[in-house]
Structure 1
Amino acid sequence: MQYYLPLFGSCHNLLRMLQRSSYLLSSDLDKVVRPNVVFLRECGLGDCDIAKLCIREPRMLITNPERVRAMVACAEKLGVPCGSGMLRQALQAVAFLSEEKIAAKVEYLKNTFRWSDAQVSIAVCKYPILLRKSKESLKRRSEFLFSVVRLEPMYIADRSVILGLSLEGRIRPRYYVVKFLKQSGLLDRDWSFWSAVTVTEKVFVEKFICPHKEAAPHLAEDYATACKGEVPTSIIFR
């Protein structure tokens, strides 16, 4: 406990970890846990990052140190080096996945988003959790982004975090709001698709909904309906 409390930063975090894996307290501290922590620190992860990683993947601290080194090597092979701010997410993405499964997911990403090897590397570097997304969710996003929004493969690779956003609750409703406003000549600036879908909900409403209460009185209601995954009565979301 004297070792783990400073590492996890609080009793709350430690309890979360123990709820995920009670084996932590019975693992060999000197032969397994400490070497893993030392190595992860050498890779550029701070204790806060290690705590977050291990709460998500509780086996990380108690697995064979050689296996942890192999996971870091896998992340580096995908283009996320030690010292990168995305290393924690990359380790979370590849943790305890076989090389075959990772290779299969990379191949699926290439085929689904029409990416080259270099573009897959860019996408994974910017959003490593992409490797954990289901094939069905990735397919639905690719169909919408290519067929409706008409984005280019490189645009998506450069902004791969888009693929982690809710299609029904965020991407689709916001796209059609912006499309409607542009067609109606109601926008005072040319907002990009990226900007529109990545701003917070509060900012989106302030910038795209509230200023148009008189010109488009049903916009707020239709947007709220669309965010629930329902089809609003207005044509603007069709």
Structure 2
Amino acid sequence: MVACAKALCVPHGSGMLGKALEAVAFYDEEKIATKVDYLKKTLRWSDTEVGIALPKAPMVLKSSKDRLQCVSEFLISEVGLEPWYIAHRPAVLSYSLDGRLRPRYYVVKFLKENGLLHRDRDYYSAVAMTPKVFMEKFICPHKEAAPHLAEDYAAACRGEVPARFRFT
């Protein structure tokens, strides 16, 4: 297991070594290679990008193919993120698509389209912050300009796709 974790370029003294060991615990080298090939194909990563991402988030190896496919399609096709961007921030792959990634994308997109987001915000910073901080930074400041934003965001977090974000 340690050899497999080291093959992922996770340094022995790294705090991620435990996560890497957990990620490879039930896989042999062939299964890990198959998973890495799937990551490369699905996320359009090069060997270099795999080498950047896996030491930071080895648990991505435990994600199902279906989940990785859905998340990668959303991040690359809908959000418009580049594969290198995801490789440098692989934790984004661990967030819930319907509970966090998609709802926060809707909010950021809504705010940008309506001129309410005054500086260009990094998508990863929006999804990485805690729910409380996200509300404080992205929802609460716009209560007057977008009074339905909080309820639309809450609906999206429940997995409902709001018909539209309302702006009045």
Please give the secondary structure, in 2, of the residue aligned with 1:207. helix
Q: Which residue of 2 aligns with 1:99?
A: 29
Q: Which residue of 2 aligns with 1:87?
A: 17
Equivalent pair of 2:36/2:61 in contact (CA under 8 Å): yes
Structure 1 length-normalised TM = 0.68
Return the alpha-carbon distance in structure 2 between the equivalents of residues 188 and 154 of structure 1.
26
1:96 partner amino acid: F
The percentage of counterpart residues that share the same residue type is: 66
| Structure 2 segments unaligned to the other structure (5+ residues) | none
1:155 aligns with 2:85: yes
Q: Which residue of 2 aligns with 1:212?
A: 142
Q: Which residue of 2 aligns with 1:201?
A: 131
| Structure 1 segments unaligned to the other structure (5+ residues) | 1-70
Count of residue correspondences: 166
Q: Which residue of 2 aligns with 1:131?
A: 61
Equivalent pair of 2:148/2:165 in contact (CA under 8 Å): no
Tell me how far 1:189 sits from its aligned partner: 2.8
2:129 partner amino acid: V
1:117 partner amino acid: D
- Alignment map for 1:17-32 (pairs within 5 Å): none
Please give the secondary structure, in 2, of the residue aligned with 1:230. coil
Structure 2 length-normalised TM = 0.95
Q: Which residue of 2 aligns with 1:146?
A: 76
Return the alpha-carbon distance in structure 2 between the equivalents of residues 189 and 119 of structure 1.
28
2:48 partner amino acid: A
Q: RCO greater where, 1 or 2, for CA within 8 Å and sep 6 or more?
A: 2
Tell me how far 1:96 sits from its aligned partner: 2.6
Tell me how far 1:159 sits from its aligned partner: 0.4
